[in-house]
Chain A
Amino acid sequence: MSFFKVEHLGIRFGGVVAVDNVGFEVKRGEVFTIIGPNGAGKTTIFNLIGLIYPATRGRILYQGRELTGLPPHRVAELGIARTFQNIELFEHATVLQNLLIGRHRHRRTSLWREMLFTSSVRQAEIAQREAVEKVIDFLELAKVRDSLVAGLPYGVRKVVELGRALATEPRLLLLDEPSSGLNPEETDDMAFWIEDIKRHLGITVLMVEHDMNLVSRVSDRVLALNMGSVIAEGTAAEVQAHPAVVEAYLGKAA
């Protein structure tokens, strides 16, 4: 049984076929990257996996379980967390509160006990806080812990969003362009974190990325897409050298 597998995945919006018959398999513990020119359908695949869009065809299998057809919140409950290309944080909340929402799937308290704030709720809250503090330590977010997200620079928000995804304690992490909008140093940090996430936390990473430096540095395998279809799959070097990939990015030689 494969860890995560996509079979014949496709979606059409009216006459536009955004993703067409895409299939790939992610092995447990690897970093798998999807690359492709703008409009290739990379983020659409993420939204299909997150069940934000219903797939027109195909299946998504996670640990042998079919995801297609489940309600979107079940995806997180099964241990798949994601970040967004344009950052979707809760802006009027502090970093700490944002990360605590990431703990939502680990809540164990009932509504009535929460209203009374019984000692079991209090203990649960402290346990959640401890788990969040581990993420804060891991991503070195301690100094912004109590700041409002709305006041933070873009680069830090990107890290906070990664932290929120990690706070859910996922088994599969979907990163949508983790380096977009980051300066070279921040990108470097991001690469370290992705490596650490894979090595120390043992989380499988599926990411969409444009920065080929980052891609070749962290990914085990790469999938290239163009116009919604797979054009190449292999290691970063193999895919970069693939004639179809070169053609997709640079065009055909005259």
Chain B
Amino acid sequence: MSTIAFLNARLIDPASGYDETGHLLVKDELIADFGPALFKDGAPSDAEIIECNGKVLCPGLVDMRVFTGEPGAEHRETLGSASKAAAAGGVTTIIVMPNTTPVIDDVALVDFIARRARDTAIVRVHPMGALTKGLRGEEMTEMGLLGEAGAVAFTDGTHYLAHPQIMRRALSYATFFDALIVQHAHEPALVADGVMTEGELATRLGLQGIPKAAEVIAIERDLRLVEITGGRYHVSQVTCIESIEAIRLAKAKGLPVTCGASAAHMTLNENDIGKYLTFCKLDPPLRREEDRQALVEAVADGTIDVVVSGHDPQDPETKRLPFQQAAFGAIGLETLLPATLALVHQEQITLPRLLQTMTSAPADLLGLKVGHMRKGAAADLTLIDIDVPWILARDKLKSKSKNSPWDERRMQGRALHTMVAGKIVHSA
């Protein structure tokens, strides 16, 4: 029975457009009330008071693309350590990918994630189930049963379901449950041994390139299948102008299509690879500056629905290698908000819109009852100082793995308090 009062906050509910200075009362895990008129006669005497001094209070962030190492590679990240990183980044719900060992393609494994999360995680954790058994791209998983067990969507994670007939059936079958199919869009035969975006820089570095067409072809094919099946389809990360155009066109046709972008692709470009920095080796790869700019615009105008971290912990064994051999992926839970706040400071995107892509948009897409500031809703909240400057130091990161492309970079803004179900789980 705890009561917490946030005083003098800039209250933002991105979904409704609500943006007012006021107070918010949390009672018994729920948002009891909020608004400028609240506490006219003073805050309840039994309430713990948090003076916000005009800082932003919004629904807790939802990150719908997170990899952990549990089960199978706990030395890189556990659900517990990922949840601490999430809390430090203001993230109150993480959606974990099925690319584990074993793969989350069975009801028992969905249960395992739920149980481990309950016992070890300090934020909410939901898994996406595998789209095909063993991520092999051959047989569909039990979408109905997995969904009942708690899988919030279906994806092969870092694999593209390449077989068109199997993808068609998966999309078609998914309509029976109104399930969401999430694709990592790249045509594997065109990616081959590629490690960065094809072009002048890859040529200069002598690295095998990946053509943007590998992503665009994958998306365009899927969109044709969506057209004939009506299945709900989401591209986990779009990264280039051509993909954005394809999505825009599909949305204009009224297809049930959504997509995401990662904080890394919105704030970095291929030049950040510099002299073979493997922390900037991402899948999909970092693109050119014009693609990055297009991505930011598309997030601002709503073509891109959600912003994700793509958090992918890797240890020195997989990253301290020649670029060609190093693993793909970067951690991002703790930088999802700070990195993208730079775009707010540069006035390329408004704060409410940015927050929407990380709160209500992913929550609604996945059918989660979070991401909104509503009376009676779960008190998952993040208090954000959008201005405070700080420098990202590797040893301060909560994640077990330290492969951040923002290592030693200057940041502006971070979560001050993170609350999950009425309980403060992180304070800066």
* Chains A and B come from one and the same complex: no
Residues of chain A at the chain B interface (Cβ within 8 Å): none
